[in-house]
Structure 1
């Protein structure tokens, strides 16, 4: 094989390299910020830092709530180590229809989105009730690490 041939590689797949998380030093994390604990995107509700011990590092104790399941998670990490922080996005969509347990949504630019489930519990029941009353609703969808979920809604202002 010549030198030329070994550099001719075929890549079957490529992506834009947009990661679902980014690293941040543990000591730079803040309350109400986000962090990944046990592979889940969480919102930090409590943080405390212990003093440096006999062998070096100060430890940061994090208490966080999973943004999708609302489960409480805890983690302890040296303050100098990096932790993953999820890219969390919130978008508002116009509710067009509710079909088979899924929300049919439309973004500001007219793109349709119909892969978000009606949320469980009170929020889902309230969205359905208001939609059946014929109200125009804007649903807020939060997405992080390949998951998304409706977290709130409001009545759309008249005149749109």
Structure 2
């Protein structure tokens, strides 16, 4: 569960943020100007990395928000078992199972190298190398 805390004003489109406990990629950011008695607010639109759900949040620009620490790694396919694939990390040689995304079902072969994403204890296949 690696996370760090940053100020809301530092967030930009394409970065990552934790909304409702789920790591999400920011797809839109809008800032409202400060009012007579209030501070500027930022509306963040994001899509969940692992579940694909759209989320939004509104916070003052000077408040703090959690950002997930995301690691992109390379692994090798050991076995394909229906809707899951068994991977071996090429740095640590750990083996684990990951669900196969729809867009990669026909591209995976045993022995192929793949890139995967690791964030907050979850993993996701990104692409075949």
Q: TM (normalized to structure 1)?
A: 0.73
- Which 5+ residue runs of structure 1 have no aligned equivalent? 1-18, 155-160
Higher relative contact order (CA 8 A, sep 6+): 2
Q: Is the 8 A contact 1:104 1:112 kept in 2?
A: no
Runs (4+) of structure 1 exceeding 6 A deviation are: none
Instruction: Name whichever of 90-99 and 34-43 sits farther off.
Output: 90-99
Counterpart-to-counterpart distance in 2, 1:20 and 1:112: 19
Give the secondary structure class of the aligned counterpart of 2:96: strand
Instruction: Give the structure with the higher percent helix.
Output: 1
Q: TM (normalized to structure 2)?
A: 0.88
- Which 5+ residue runs of structure 2 have no aligned equivalent? none
Counterpart-to-counterpart distance in 1, 2:58 and 2:66: 13
Give the secondary structure class of the aligned counterpart of 1:55: coil
Counterpart-to-counterpart distance in 2, 1:110 and 1:101: 24
Counterpart-to-counterpart distance in 1, 2:88 and 2:71: 16
Counterpart-to-counterpart distance in 2, 1:61 and 1:104: 39
The Cα of 1:114 is off from its aligned counterpart by: 2.2
Give the secondary structure class of the aligned counterpart of 1:152: strand
Q: Partner residue of 2:14?
A: 32
Higher Cα Rg, which structure: 1
Q: Does 1:144 align with 2:119?
A: yes
